[in-house]
Structures are given as structure tokens and as C-alpha cells.
Amino acid sequence: MTEADTKPPAQGSPFWRFSLKLYRAPGVADACIALQEGASVDVNLLLFLLWQATQRRAFTAADVAALEQRIGGWRDTAVIPLRNLRRALKSPPGLVAPGKAEAFRTRIKAVELEAERLQQEAMYELAATSPLGRAVTSPAEAARLNVAAYASMRAVVFPSAAVDSILAALAKLEGE
């Protein structure tokens, strides 16, 4: 997800709409970026695990690894190269006028967001066509288990402040 996610499109799966709503919650974007940068988290996968948690679905590290294997090719081929290009264009080479370079960067940002939306729509279809995870008693329990399973699969410790911020925002959304 990028900082441009301020206006949700009218279309999109329930997962996409959930992602936009959670990502816009106070502190969540910064926490997601911290996890992305500090622990190589795929934010779309993290959001998927949290969305599944709202449905009381918990995943093991092996489940997360299987999901990672299914989605990694798209992310690595489409999402990450677009993100890298967008970031590089924050300080573009001096050949192109700054206004034109920024307009181009804005278009790249929109294409990056579309690549992320396509990834999420494919993940939504995956969840709709095959049972994922196991049922647990509460969304909060599922969220904690899913984040822990993702960290275990990555064999890293996720920064607790970022995780706490996201889980608190999720709990607040669940309470609405």
C-alpha cells in the first residue's frame, strides 16, 4: 500500500475495502511501512492475514509460507519494481523538469496501487475458493496468531510498536 491510499475506489472485494479502511487508520500506514522496511513484510499479505482474522481464521507459519509462495511471483515481478521506481523518482535525475517528473511519479504510484489491488483481488479469490486457516474463538486471537505465524515464517522479530499499533487499530475497527 502507498501513501496515496486516501480515496477508496467504489469497486473492489471486501478484502480490498477492509485493507483501505485499516491502512487509513491512525498510525497504521507508518507501522506497515516500518514492518515492510524493517522486516521485509509484504503488507498485502499482512493485511490478508488480518482480514482473515476478522473472520476468526488463524494460520500457521506453514500456511503463511504456502500463501507467500502463491503470491510472491506477482509481488516480485509487478509490485516491488513499481515501488522501487516510484521511490527512485522522489529524487529524479535532472533531465526532466521537476513538475513533469512528479506527474510521471504520480502515474507510477497509481499503477503501483493497481498492482497491489490486483494482488489482493487474487488473494480474495483464493480465500473464496479454498478454505484457509483454522477457526478460532475471536478475531483478536486470530490476529495475534496470524502476525506471530508470519513473523515465524519470516524467522524475524517484528517490531512490537508497529504490531501493537496495527492490532490496536484493528481492534478499534472491529468495535465499530
In the chain, beta strands by DSSP E: 57-58, 134-135
How many CA atoms lie within 13 Å of 102's alpha carbon, on the beta-carbon side? 3
Q: 3-class DSSP state for residue 13?
A: coil
Residue pLDDT, tens place only, 35-91: 999 999 999 999 999 999 999 999 999 999 999 999 999 999 999 999 999 999 999
Domain boundaries, the chain: 14-175
Q: Say what the pTM is.
A: 0.90
Tell me how crowded residue 157 is: count the other CB atoms within 10 A of its CB: 11
pLDDT in tens, 9-46: 457 899 999 999 999 999 999 999 999 999 999 999 99
